[in-house]
Amino acid sequence: MISKYIQVGNKIDIESIKKTTGELGEITRKTYRSEVYDIESEDIIKIAMPMEQSKIVLLPVDAEYSLCFYTPQGLYQCLARVVERYKSNSLFVLSMELETDLQKYQRREYYRLNKVLDMKSKVIEDNERSEGMAKLQFIDTDLTFDNGTMVDISGGGARFISKVQYAEGSLIRFVFSLFVNGQVTEYKLVGKVLNSSPIENREDEYENRIQFVNMVNDDRESIIKYIFEEERKMRHRERGTF
């Protein structure tokens, strides 16, 4: 129940789903501050339209955002879509439909989707790294990759299971496919290994966490769009409306 966690007057950060990246995948976020104006239902909340430099920011209808709620119980996050804009008692209001369930929010992390997917990986050797990060975006299809299983993904990285343990801080080529915009799209990315550790009671299998680096913005946007669509499908299935 959303009212169990969110109350009228709670402060909100509204973060644009569209993100830009700099060198090595640094992220620049566009975030607006607002507050909860009303809770209409379990799926619809109303928030005061954000202000920037004393001017109202007209967030477009149908645009999707990540919302971070500041509550007495901590930070909560969900993904939401603007469904209506209007004026109420001299206040400009946004009506937003929640596209995912609320979950505890850890800052500096993207929204992560638990999803089992086939993928392939291969460590990038030191002599390749010395050629420069920019060239690492290209992946030679003649290379021999190791099979693995992705278990979650976000716009910033992924977690996967493999038969190979990678050194922390090493770079790997990371290849997988997603069904986006009605077609299968293959992604060929570079990831930095944050952690690689043995899985208890599973011989010769390792859980790996990677952060995408040197990533073009179109790929990041496409992955985030995929996550939105999958979360939306799961939410509709749970309600029996899909």
Predicted confidence (pLDDT) per residue in 66-80, tens digit: 898 988 788 888 889
Residue 23 pLDDT exceeds 60: no
CATH of the domain at 168: 2.40.10.220
If you ran DSSP here, which 8-state letter would residue 168 be given?
Answer: T
Residue 242 lies in a domain: no
- 121, 226: one domain: yes
- 142, 200: one domain: yes
pTM for the model: 0.62
Domain that holds residue 9: 2-104
If you ran DSSP here, which 8-state letter would residue 102 be given?
Answer: -
- Residue among 136, 143, 140, 159 at smallest CA distance from 211: 159
- 117, 222: one domain: yes
- 65, 133: one domain: no
Measured CA distances, 93 to 8, 98, 137 (Å): 13, 16, 43
- 221, 140: one domain: yes
- 97, 142: one domain: no
Residue 66 lies in a domain: yes
* pLDDT at residue 26, as a whole number: 43
**How many domains does the chain divide into?**
2
- 74, 117: one domain: no
- Which of 42, 73, 104 finishes a domain? 104
